Structure formats: C-alpha cells, structure tokens
A = this chain, B = another copy of it.
Amino acid sequence: MPRPSVRGKLLETALEQFQAQGFNGCGVQDITNAAGVPKGSFYNHFASKEALALEVLEQYSQGSRPDLLTDETVPPIDRLRAHFAFLSDRLEGWHFAKGCLLANFGGEIADTNPAVREAMAAFFERWVSAVGVVLRQAQVQGEIDARHDPDQLARFLVYAWEGAVIGAKVMKSRGPLDDFFAVSFDRLLARPA
C-alpha cells in the first residue's frame, strides 16, 4: 500500500478533527499534530484553514457514495434506501460522534465563512438534484404517489436527513435515523395502494 502523502494525511485528519471539534474548535496546529506532520508543512499544501475546509468538503462529498443514487440497475426507491443506509451505517460506525460535515459546518460557520457556505450550498444542490432524479424515476415507474412534487420532496428528504443526523449526534442513538427511514419510506414514499 502506498504511503499517504502529507497532503492526503492532512485532508484525512482535518475531516476527523472538523467533525469531532468543529471548525473553530481546532486550529491548524491541532490538525498538523494529529496528522503527525510539522506545522510549517501545512502552508505548503493549503493557503488557510478555510482553504483546507473547502477541499475536505469536496472529498467528503465524493466519499458519501453519490454513485448509489445513480446505479440504474437498481429500482429507484431501493437506490435511495441504499444511499441513506450507507450514510447511517457510517454514522453508526463513528458512534454518532461526528455527524454530517454539512450539518456541522452549516450550523457553525454558514454565516462567518462565506466561501464555505457557498461550497455547502453547491453540495446541497448537487445532492438534492441527484435525489430528485431518483424520485422522478420512481414516480414514472409508479413506485411513489403521483401527487408528489419530486424536486420539493427531494429537498425535504435531504434536509430532513440532516436534521435526523443532528438528532442522532445529540441523542447518541440511531433512533432519529430509524425514524427517518420509517416515516420517509413507509409513509411518504410508500407504494401507492
């Protein structure tokens, strides 16, 4: 296995630190200490902690398995379920100690770091759009109620998920995620009678 680059190590460690401590709760030195690299090397790779946060967000986005939503060999609602199941298993693997980086940054620094807010908005838009495509396909295939507005429902589900993640982090339990699955899939997205 190749050794991770200093840059890769910083990105990986920063994701952990941002999720555990928040953006303002950890400094560049905390990140370089945790990554085991000299503080001086940080600025060879990133102009600022904010620049690092933007790259961490991008990497987090790639790691959230958006491909599960676009795998057209799987029926639409099964795809959506697989996507959220991946996310909930990951949170459980983290013992609900980290949460979703979007929700964490959204609550903490949406107002103080405009560049991060814009990157988050773009992330949400891509995610909502991918979920909207799945819901439109589900509707065409008769899997969900024809009365739904698929784009609105996509926005609702993505933000409801973020809230459930906050709930799981506060309650230290997967209960809020299980409630999300039950109400979303068994009620809102139930196959029409």
Contact = CB atoms under 8 A, between A and B. Distances in A.
Interface of A: 20-25, 97-99, 102-112, 117, 120-121, 124, 145, 147-149, 152-153, 155-156, 158-167, 169-172, 175-176, 179-180, 182-184, 187-188
Nearest to A161: B163
Given A25-B112, A103-B166, 7 more contacts: A24-B25, A106-B107, A148-B187, A155-B175, A159-B163, A160-B163, A162-B167
Copies of this chain assembled into the complex = 2
B152 A160 contact: no
Nearest to A111: B97
Contacts of A25: 24, 108-109, 112
A109 B22 contact: yes
A106 B160 contact: no
B111 A103 contact: no
B111 A107 contact: no
Given A24-B22, A106-B107, A109-B25, A179 B166 contact: no
A129 to B, nearest CB: 14
